[in-house]
Structure 1
Amino acid sequence: MIILDNVSKVYQGHSLDNEVLRGVNLTINRGDSIGVCGANGVGKSTLMKLIAGVERPTRGKVRRTMSVSWPIGYSSAFQASLTGADNARFIARIYGRNERELLDYVQDFAQLGTYINEPIKTYSTGMQARLAFAVSLAIQFECYLVDEITGAGDERFRARSEEALHERRTNGTLVMVSHDTATLYRYCQRGAVVYAGGVTLYDTIQEAADVHHRLQSFPPEPR
């Protein structure tokens, strides 16, 4: 279970503080598959980072009783001057995994060829996303976070990605952000809408998508 208890997140600027999320209460149970809807800039990625522990809330608490992946596709954690292989080995050591086995999985899944031995700074955005996706799946988490990644790569890679995500959803918990509601329908049963600093959870992804689309016809509420 993952519980967000009265969570707020404020980013401080030079002349203006931006409260992206305010007083969020959200419970994610084992076995949930939740699709997160929301317009650009409302805080969907911030919500995912808070769930993952990549960022800390300004106020409130996030409690976790299951292991949680970093947001799949979140490649900013890679050290750009190191090779893809070295980054994979480093992550394997952090999580206590066998380095050779993890690297073999990553090489097979990401299909980067000789680029696996080149510095991350030489990778295209798509290559970084494929590496991040492969490394995320190489480690068994109880909850997987997915942020707009299933479109990276060629048809073969997308097919493998979809198969892997369906397997993770069947055996664990999945929280997914996507601007493509068709993708959310394929993977998720429940839905959440991020709007005006709040997060509302719905029993079905259909209901969440309907609410999200209706909200797009209204001007954004002041924060």
Structure 2
Amino acid sequence: MIKIENLTKSYRVPGGRHYVFKDLSLELPAGKSVALIGRNGAGKSTLLRMIGGIDKPDSGRIISQRSISWPVGLSGGFQGSLTGRENVKFVARLYATKADLKEKVAFVEEFAELGKYFDMPIKTYSSGMRSRLSFGLSMAFKFDYYLVDEVTAVGDARFRDKCHKIFAEKNKESAFLMVSHSLDTLKNYCDIALIISSSSNVNVYNSVPEAIEEYLKNESRNKF
């Protein structure tokens, strides 16, 4: 379970402040994968970052006794002068026991398929190589909740198929908090949905298809 209490988040903009959320309170049930639905700028990614502890609210709090991942595929935290192996070892020391360290590094090395580049500095990687390393690193650890923001697969068709397979495996034992422009992806992986339409208007739906239908209906209405 993830409980959000009186959450307010804003950013300074010319002429004042823009409130992404204002006094938001809701509870996400345990064991349920959640689709976050809303137009661009509604606050979906901001909410994920706050749940993951990457961003902080102005006030309020997020409570959970469950383990929560960093956003899957996030590569901004890599140290460019260190090799892929060294970056993976650094993260593994934080999230795994000493006995599991070699196993985690070996998993990422095999999954990312970077060959000799695994032992070369991250700054020499292409964006695709960084994504493969980051995705493999995210999948190396067991979390109760995985935060997924638009990234479910990377690379060529064969590698994307590999990503989808491990994602399906993770979904059997863990819950996802997911943002995606692919509505079919949300249907495939999520059990319930949040429609985020404004800082004070977040609605919970127990059916993802129903939530998508309502969202598309409102979007069509707002065009006219």
The residue number in structure 2 matching 1:86 is 86
Of the structure 1 ranges 44-53 and 8-17, higher mean CA displacement relative to structure 2 is found in: 8-17
Whole-Å separation in 2 of the counterparts to 1:15 and 1:218: 30
Find out whether 1:217 has 2:220 as its counterpart.
yes
| 1:1-223 correspondence runs (5 A) | 1-13=1-13, 15-97=15-97, 98-197=100-199, 198-217=201-220
Of the structure 1 ranges 106-115 and 118-127, higher mean CA displacement relative to structure 2 is found in: 118-127
Whole-Å separation in 2 of the counterparts to 1:75 and 1:14: 30
Q: Is the 8 A contact 1:89 1:99 kept in 2?
A: yes
Q: CA offsets per residue over residues 105-126 of structure 1, 9 Å max, x none?
A: 0011111222222222332332
Q: Is the 8 A contact 1:31 1:169 kept in 2?
A: no
Structure of higher CA gyration radius: 2
- How does the TM-score come out when normalised to structure 2? 0.90
TM-aligned CA deviation for residue 219 of structure 1: 5.1
Q: CA offsets per residue over residues 178-220 of structure 1, 9 Å max, x none?
A: 0010111111121111212243221011122112212323559
Whole-Å separation in 2 of the counterparts to 1:213 and 1:113: 44
Structure 1: which amino acid aligns with 2:86? D
Whole-Å separation in 1 of the counterparts to 2:215 and 2:118: 40
TM-aligned CA deviation for residue 19 of structure 1: 1.6
Q: Is the 8 A contact 1:42 1:195 kept in 2?
A: yes
TM-aligned CA deviation for residue 13 of structure 1: 4.2
Q: Is the 8 A contact 2:8 2:57 kept in 1?
A: yes
Whole-Å separation in 1 of the counterparts to 2:12 and 2:18: 6
Of the structure 1 ranges 136-145 and 75-84, higher mean CA displacement relative to structure 2 is found in: 75-84
Whole-Å separation in 1 of the counterparts to 2:95 and 2:39: 34
Whole-Å separation in 1 of the counterparts to 2:31 and 2:163: 19
Whole-Å separation in 2 of the counterparts to 1:27 and 1:35: 14
Q: Is the 8 A contact 2:10 2:18 kept in 1?
A: yes
Unaligned runs of 5+ in 1: none
- Give the secondary structure class of the aligned counterpart of 1:153: coil
Q: Is the 8 A contact 1:81 1:120 kept in 2?
A: yes
Report the CA distance shift for 1:122/1:211 in structure 2 as closer, same or farther (over 3 A): farther
Whole-Å separation in 2 of the counterparts to 1:96 and 1:189: 29
Whole-Å separation in 1 of the counterparts to 2:171 and 2:26: 19
- Give the secondary structure class of the aligned counterpart of 2:220: coil
Q: Is the 8 A contact 1:25 1:199 kept in 2?
A: no
Of the structure 1 ranges 37-46 and 96-105, higher mean CA displacement relative to structure 2 is found in: 96-105
Q: Is the 8 A contact 2:152 2:167 kept in 1?
A: no
TM-aligned CA deviation for residue 25 of structure 1: 2.0
Q: CA offsets per residue over residues 21-76 of structure 1, 9 Å max, x none?
A: 22222322221011111112221111111111111111111001100001102222
TM-aligned CA deviation for residue 177 of structure 1: 0.8
**RMSD over aligned Cα atoms:** 1.9
Whole-Å separation in 1 of the counterparts to 2:36 and 2:52: 15
Aligned residues: 220
Q: What fraction of aligned residue pairs are identical, expressed as a percent?
A: 38
Of the structure 1 ranges 58-67 and 129-138, higher mean CA displacement relative to structure 2 is found in: 129-138
